[in-house]
C-alpha cells in the first residue's frame, strides 16, 4: 500500500514522484488488477498536447471497483443509500450486491445494443441506480456522460447532442426535499431534438404517472427482470475513454472533458486513500452529486477502488430541517465527511441548535471542495462539526484534473485555515505572471499552472481536441493552465484565490458568464447583456446581470416583468442554478472605443465598491458608468 502516514513519508513520496514520475506511478499502479500490464508508464507533450499513461495496459475499472473485493469483502457494505425522506428505510448494498446489480444493468445496456465506445447519458437524482449505471457503462466499455439533474431540457439536449448519445437513463421524477422534479418530462422535451437516442431507460422511483414513448422508452425494472446476474467485463485499454463530463469555461458552450481509464483509476484511489486516510471499515460520506466530478471520483470510483463504504444521500441539507447532515452522520457513524463551503455557510447561518443535538463523535476527517473556503466557515466547521479534533482537508482540484491536486493529507499535513496547503505527490504547481514567467520564491501570487502531467489529467475535450489545446495549453507554453489565481505564502503553502477568467463559482457550481449572457440574450426584449460575479455571503459568488433592453419593450412592460422574463429564460436555457441573483436594466454598458466591455468596472459596481473605479478614460461614453452606479442594486 502506497499509504502516506507522516510528513516524512509525504516528503519522500513527493520527491520520488518529481524525480521519476514513471517509476513512482508505475509502483502505485502495481496494486491494481490488470488484464495485461502496461509497456510504458507515460508519454506526453504539453506544447502540442497529448498525454498517455500506462500505455498498452489492459483492464476493466469495474473489476478493480467490485470483483477484486469479492473474495474478502462480499458481505461488506459498499454503498449505503439514504433516501430523501428520513422515514424511508436506507438500503445497504454489499460488494456482492453491487456486483450483481452492475452486471444486470450492464446486460440491459447490451441488450439494447449499447457497445464499447457508445455514449450513454445519465440524467438522474442520487439513487443507487445512478451509481450502478455509471459502473455498468464502464463494465461494457460504454462512455458515460452524467448530466446533473438540475440542468434544463435545453442544457440536457445540447449535451446529449454533443456526445451523440445512443441511450439516456433517467427516472420518472425525483424527490428533492419537499419538492418533486419531473425528470422524465425534461428528458422528453430534450429528446425531440436528439435523434441519436434510440432507447431511454426509466427508473420508477416515485411512481408518478409519466409519458412513455413506444419503441423508445423502457421501464428499467422490467428490463432488469430479463437479464442474467453475471457479466464478463469488457477488456479496455488504459487510454480508452471512461467518461465525458461537461463543464463551463470562458466561452459560451460547455465542453465535454474526457477522462480515460487507467490513469484515472490509479489517481482517484491513491488520492482517496491518502487524503482522507481512509481505513478498512470506515464509513465515508461525500455530499456532492454524482452529476459533478466530485461525485464521480469521490463517491463512486475512489471509494470503491479502495474497497470502502461510501454513503449516498438523495436529499438536501435543509430538509426536513437544517440538521439533516448531522443526523445522517450520527445515524451511520460517518468517519470521513466531505462537503462544499457553500453548504457549511448555509448551515452555519442556521445556528447550533440543529448541530448540538447530534452525536458527531464518529468523525475523524472533514473535507471541503469546490470553492475557496472563508476563514469563518473553516473555523466553524473545525470547532462545531469536528470538535477541534478532526483535520480539515481543503482539497483544490477541477473537473479537468480528475482528482485532488493541492490538499492536506489528513492528520499528516499541518493545516492552515483557507489554505489548500501543499501539492499531492505527482503534482508540480507553478505560479506564472502575465508575461508567462514563473514566479519563484515565497510570499508571491500568480496564475496557477501545472508543469508535469499526473495520471488523471484530462485527455481531450470531446470532439474538439483543438479546443482542449487552446483552453488549457496555449495561455502558457508548456504548462497546463488552471484558470485560478493562487498565492504561495512564506511557508510554501498554496491558497487558491479564485478564477481569473470569466468563470464564476456559485454555490460551488461552475458557470461561464458568457453562457449566462447567451441565455439572457435569447429573451426577445434583450439587446445586450454582461454578467459578472460578486461576493455572496452563502453562495460564495452571486450572479449579477447588466442588461440592455429594447426601448419598445421598456415602454410596454414593467421592470419587474422584464426581469422575470430574463430570469425565466436563464432557467429554461441552463437551469435554476444559473438564475441571476441581481438584474440591473441599464441604458448602456461601459465599452472601450474598440467595443470591449470593461468588466472590471461592472465587477466593482456589483461588489458595491464604486469609490475607485480606476482608469475610465478609454471608455467610449464615460457617462454610462455614472448611470450604472446610480441604478446599482445593493
Ligand atoms: C474550480 C473547479 C473539484 C471539484 C469541484 C469543482 C474551484 C475547487 C477549490 C478549493 C478554492 C476551489 C477552483 C477550480 N475550486 N476546489 N478547495 N479552494 N477553489 O470542480 O466545477 O471543475 O470547478 O473550482 O476555482 O478551478 P469544477
What residues have CB less than 8 Å from 221, skipping those under 6 apart? 203, 204
Ligand 1 mutation target, pool 396, 403, 406, 458, most atoms within 8 A of CB:
396
Written as nine digits, the cell of 270 is 491513491
Is residue 315 within 8 A of residue 83, CB to CB? The reply is: yes
Ligand 1 centroid–CA 439 distance in Å is 22
Is there a contact between 143 and 166 (Cβ–Cβ < 8 Å)? no
Q: Quick check: 579 and 569 in contact, CB under 8 A?
A: no
Instruction: At 227, give phi and psi (nearest 5°).
Output: -115, 165
Confirm or reject: Cβ of 504 under 6 Å from ligand 1.
no
Structural domain total, the chain = 2
Q: Has residue 2 got a pLDDT over 90?
A: no
pLDDT in tens, 323-342: 999 999 999 999 999 999 99
Answer whether residue 150 is part of any domain.
yes
Q: Is the pLDDT of residue 544 over 60?
A: yes
Cα 370 to middle of ligand 1, angstroms? 4
pLDDT reading at 614 higher than 90 = no
Residue 414 domain-assigned? no
How many angstroms separate the CA atoms of 522 and 566, rounded?
9
Ligand 1 neighbour 398 (Cβ under 6 A)? yes
Q: Using 50, 70 and 90 to split pLDDT, how confident is the model at 422?
A: very high
Per-residue model confidence (pLDDT) at position 615: 81
Region 508-533 average pLDDT: 96
Q: What is the pLDDT of residues 52-91, one digit of tens each?
A: 999 999 999 999 999 999 999 999 999 999 999 999 999 9
From atom 14 of ligand 1, which residue's Cα is the shortest distance away?
398
Residue 252 domain flag: yes
Q: Say how many Å lie between the CA of residue 397 and the centre of ligand 1.
A: 5
Residue 255 to residues 51, 147, 294, 468, Cα–Cα distance (Å) = 19, 12, 17, 9
Distance 478 CA to ligand 1 centre (A): 22
Phi, psi of 454 (to 5 degrees): -120, 165
What per-residue confidence (pLDDT) applies to 250? 84
**Does the beta carbon of 62 lie inside 6 Å of ligand 1?**
no
Q: For ligand 1, is residue 483 a contact (CB within 6 Å)?
A: yes
Rounded distance, CA 325 to CA 310, Å?
15
| pLDDT at residue 252 tops 80 | no
Contact 382, 368 (CB under 8 A): no
The stretch 288-311 carries a mean pLDDT of 98
Q: Is residue 441 part of a domain?
A: no
Burial class (CB in 10 A: 0-12, 13-18, 19+), 151: buried
Ligand 1 centre and the CA of 600: distance in Å?
22
Long-range contacts at 351-356 (CB < 8 A, ≥ 24 apart)? 352/384, 354/321, 354/322, 354/323, 354/326, 355/323, 355/326, 355/384, 355/385
Grid look-up 433516501 returns: 83
Q: Tell the residue nearest (CA) to atom 19 of ligand 1.
A: 371
Where among 340, 371, 401 does a domain terminate?
A: 340
- Residue closest via CA to ligand 1's atom 11 equals 372
Domain that holds residue 580: 505-630
Per-residue model confidence (pLDDT) at position 1: 57
Residue 94 has pLDDT above 90, yes or no: yes
3-state secondary structure of 627: helix
Residue 353 falls inside a structural domain: no
C-alpha cell at 364: 475523524
Determine the Cα–Cα distance for residues 422 and 370; give it in Å rounded to an integer.
Answer: 17
Q: State which of 371, 449, 458, 497 you would mutate to test the pocket of ligand 1, scoring each by most atoms of that ligand within 8 A of its C-beta.
A: 371
374 CA distance to ligand 1 middle (Å): 14
Alpha carbons within 13 angstroms on the beta-carbon side of residue 578 total 28
Cα distances from 424 to residues 194, 403, 515, 544, 599, in angstroms, run 42, 10, 33, 36, 35
Confidence category of residue 414, pLDDT binned at 50, 70, 90:
very high
8-16: average pLDDT: 98
Please give the helix or strand (H or E) that residue 311 lies within, else none.
Answer: strand 309-313
Give the residue whose CA is nearest to atom 23 of ligand 1: 398
Q: Could you write out the DSSP letters of every residue in 347-387?
A: HHTT-STTTTTS--TT--EEEEESSPPPHHHHHHIIIIIST
Residues 6+ apart with CB under 8 A from 500: 447, 483, 484, 485
Q: What is the pLDDT of residue 84?
A: 98
Ligand 1: centre distance to CA 287 (Å): 15
Length of the chain: 634
User: Ligand 1 pocket test: which of 254, 342, 398 has the largest number of ligand atoms within 8 Å of its C-beta?
Assistant: 398
Residue 382 has pLDDT above 70, yes or no: yes
3-state helix, strand, coil in the chain (%, to 5): 35, 25, 40
Distance 249 CA to ligand 1 centre (A): 13
Last residue of a domain, one of 340, 366, 391: 340
The confidence score (pLDDT) of residue 312 equals: 98
Q: Which residue has the cell 462537503?
A: 339
* Set of cell numbers at residue 532: 459578472
H-assigned helices in 30-145: 61-62, 68-73, 95-111, 128-140
369-381 pLDDT, tens per residue? 999 999 999 999 9
Residue 371 in contact with ligand 1 by CB distance below 6 A: yes
* Cβ of residue 369 lying under 6 Å from some atom of ligand 1: yes
Share of the chain above pLDDT 90, in %: 95
616 pLDDT tier (thresholds 50, 70, 90): confident
Number of H helices, E strands in the chain: 21, 30
Residue having the nearest C-alpha atom to atom 8 of ligand 1: 370
Residue 532's pLDDT band, with cuts at 50, 70 and 90, is very high
In angstroms, what is the span from residue 472 Cα to ligand 1's centroid?
15
Which domain CATH number covers 519? Answer: 3.30.300.30
**How remote is the C-alpha of 546 from its chain's centroid?**
28
Which ligand 1 atom is at minimum distance from the Cα of 420? 17
**How far apart, in whole angstroms, are the C-alpha atoms of residue 610 and residue 604?**
6
444 domain residue, yes or no: no
Kindly write down the DSSP assignment for every residue of 59-89, as one continuous string: E-HHIIIIIHHHHHHTTSEEEEEE-SSTTSP
394 pocket-lining for ligand 1 (C-beta < 6 Å): yes
How many Cβ atoms from other residues are within 10 Å of residue 349's Cβ?
A: 11
The pLDDT-based confidence of 475 (bands split at 50, 70, 90) is very high
Q: Is ligand 1 within 6 A of the CB of residue 287? A: no
Q: Which of 340, 374, 409 is the last residue of a domain?
A: 340
Q: Taking every pair of C-alpha atoms in the chain, what is the biggest distance, in angstroms?
A: 74
Ligand 1 midpoint to CA 539 (Å) = 14
359 φ, ψ (degrees, to nearest 5): -85, 110
Best of 258, 494, 504, 505 to mutate for ligand 1, by most ligand atoms within 8 A of CB? 505
Residue 257 Cβ < 6 Å to ligand 1? no
What's the rounded Cα separation, in Å, for the pair 140 and 111?
A: 11
Position 419 in a domain = no
CB of 303 shorter than 6 A to ligand 1: no
Q: Is the CB of 418 under 6 A from ligand 1?
A: no
Question: Is residue 39 packed enough to be buried (19+ CB in 10 Å), middle (13-18) or exposed (0-12)?
Answer: exposed
Q: Looking at residues 272-285, what average pLDDT do you find? A: 98
- 499 alpha carbon – ligand 1 mean position (Å): 9
β-pair type (119-123, 167-171): parallel
* Average pLDDT score over the chain: 97
The answer to whether 322 and 347 are in contact (CB under 8 A) is: yes
Distance of CA 532 to the CA centre of its chain: 21
CATH number (domain holding residue 91) = 3.40.50.12780
d(CA 138, CA 396): 26
Residue 411 belongs to some domain of the structure: no
**pLDDT of amino acid 38:** 98
Amino acid at each position: 500500500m502506497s499509504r502516506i502516514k507522516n510528513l516524512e513519508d509525504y516528503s519522500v513520496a513527493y520527491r520520488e514522484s518529481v524525480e521519476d514520475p514513471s517509476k513512482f506511478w508505475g509502483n502505485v499502479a502495481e496494486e491494481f488488477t490488470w488484464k495485461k500490464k502496461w509497456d510504458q508508464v507515460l508519454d506526453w507533450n504539453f506544447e502540442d498536447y497529448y498525454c498517455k499513461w500506462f500505455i498498452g495496459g489492459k483492464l476493466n475499472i469495474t473489476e478493480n471497483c467490485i470483483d477484486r473485493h469479492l473474495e474478502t469483502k462480499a458481505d461488506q457494505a459498499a454503498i449505503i443509500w439514504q433516501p430523501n425522506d428520513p422515514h424511508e428505510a436506507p438500503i445497504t448494498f454489499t460488494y456482492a450486491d453491487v456486483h450483481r446489480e452492475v452486471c444486470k444493468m450492464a446486460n440491459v445496456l447490451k441488450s439494447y445494443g449499447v457497445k464499447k465506445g457508445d455514449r450513454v447519458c445519465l440524467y438522474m437524482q442520487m439513487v443507487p441506480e445512478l451509481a450502478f449505471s455509471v459502473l455498468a457503462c464502464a463494465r461494457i466499455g460504454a462512455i458515460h456522460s452524467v448530466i446533473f439533474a438540475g440542468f434544463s431540457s435545453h442544457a440536457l439536449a445540447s449535451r446529449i447532442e454533443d456526445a451523440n448519445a445512443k441511450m439516456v437513463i433517467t427516472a420518472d421524477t425525483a424527490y428533492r426535499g419537499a419538492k418533486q422534479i419531473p425528470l422524465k418530462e425534461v428528458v422528453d422535451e430534450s429528446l425531440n431534438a436528439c435523434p441519436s437516442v434510440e432507447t431511454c431507460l426509466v427508473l420508477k422511483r416515485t411512481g408518478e404517472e409519466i409519458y412513455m414513448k413506444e419503441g423508445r422508452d423502457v421501464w428499467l425494472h422490467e428490463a432488469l427482470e430479463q437479464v442474467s446476474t453475471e457479466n464478463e467485463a469488457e477488456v479496455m485499454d488504459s487510454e480508452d475513454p471512461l467518461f465525458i463530463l461537461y463543464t463551463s469555461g470562458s466561452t459560451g458552450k460547455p465542453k465535454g472533458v474526457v477522462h480515460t481509464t487507467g490513469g484515472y483509476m490509479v489517481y482517484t484511489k491513491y488520492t482517496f486513500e491518502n487524503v482522507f486516510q481512509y481505513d478498512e471499515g470506515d464509513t465515508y460520506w461525500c455530499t456532492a452529486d454524482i452529476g459533478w466530478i466530485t461525485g464521480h471520483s469521490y463517491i463512486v470510483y475512489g471509494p470503491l477502488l479502495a474497497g470502502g463504504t461510501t454513503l449516498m444521500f438523495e436529499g438536501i441539507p435543509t430538509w426536513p430541517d437544517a440538521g439533516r447532515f448531522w443526523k445522517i452522520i450520527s445515524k451511520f457513524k460517518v468517519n470521513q465527511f466531505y462537503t462544499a463551503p457553500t453548504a457549511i455557510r448555509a448551515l452555519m447561518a442556521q445556528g447550533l441548535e440543529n448541530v448540538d443535538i447530534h452525536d458527531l463523535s464518529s468523525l475523524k476527517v472533514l473535507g471541503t471542495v469546490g470553492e475557496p473556503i472563508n476563514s469563518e466557515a473553516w473555523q466553524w466547521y473545525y470547532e462545531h462539526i469536528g470538535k477541534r479534533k478532526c483535520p480539515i482537508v481543503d482539497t483544490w482540484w477541477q473537473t479537468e484534473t480528475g482528482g485532488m491536486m493541492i490538499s492536506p493529507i489528513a492528520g499528516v499535513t499541518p493545516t492552515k485555515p483557507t489554505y489548500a496547503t501543499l501539492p499531492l505527490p505527482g503534482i508540480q504547481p507553478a505560479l506564472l505572471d502575465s508575461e508567462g514567467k514563473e514566479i519563484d520564491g515565497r510570499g508571491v501570487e500568480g496564475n496557477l499552472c501545472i508543469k508535469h502531467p499526473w495520471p488523471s489529467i484530462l485527455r481531450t475535450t470531446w470532439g474538439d481536441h483543438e479546443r482542449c489545446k487552446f483552453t488549457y495549453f496555449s495561455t502558457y507554453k508548456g504548462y497546463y493552465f488552471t484558470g485560478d489565481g493562487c498565492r504561495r505564502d512564506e511557508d510554501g503553502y498554496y491558497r487558491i484565490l479564485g478564477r481569473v477568467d470569466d468563470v464564476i463559482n456559485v454555490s460551488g457550481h461552475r458557470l461561464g458568464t458568457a453562457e449566462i449572457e447567451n441565455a439572457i440574450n435569447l429573451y426577445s426584449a434583450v439587446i445586450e447583456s454582461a454578467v459578472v460575479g460578486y461576493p455572496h455571503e452563502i453562495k460564495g459568488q452571486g450572479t449579477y446581470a447588466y442588461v440592455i433592453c429594447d426601448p419598445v419593450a421598456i415602454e410596454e412592460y414593467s421592470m419587474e416583468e422584464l426581469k422575470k422574463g430574463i430570469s425565466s429564460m436563464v432557467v429554461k436555457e441552463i437551469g435554476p442554478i444559473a438564475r441571476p441573483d441581481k438584474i440591473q436594466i441599464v441604458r448602456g454598458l461601459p465599452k472601450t472605443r474598440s467595443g470591449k466591455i470593461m468588466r472590471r468596472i461592472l465587477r466593482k459596481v456589483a461588489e458595491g465598491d464604486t469609490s475607485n473605479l480606476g482608469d475610465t478614460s478609454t471608455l467610449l461614453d464615460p457617462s454610462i458608468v455614472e448611470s450604472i452606479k446610480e441604478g446599482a442594486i445593493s
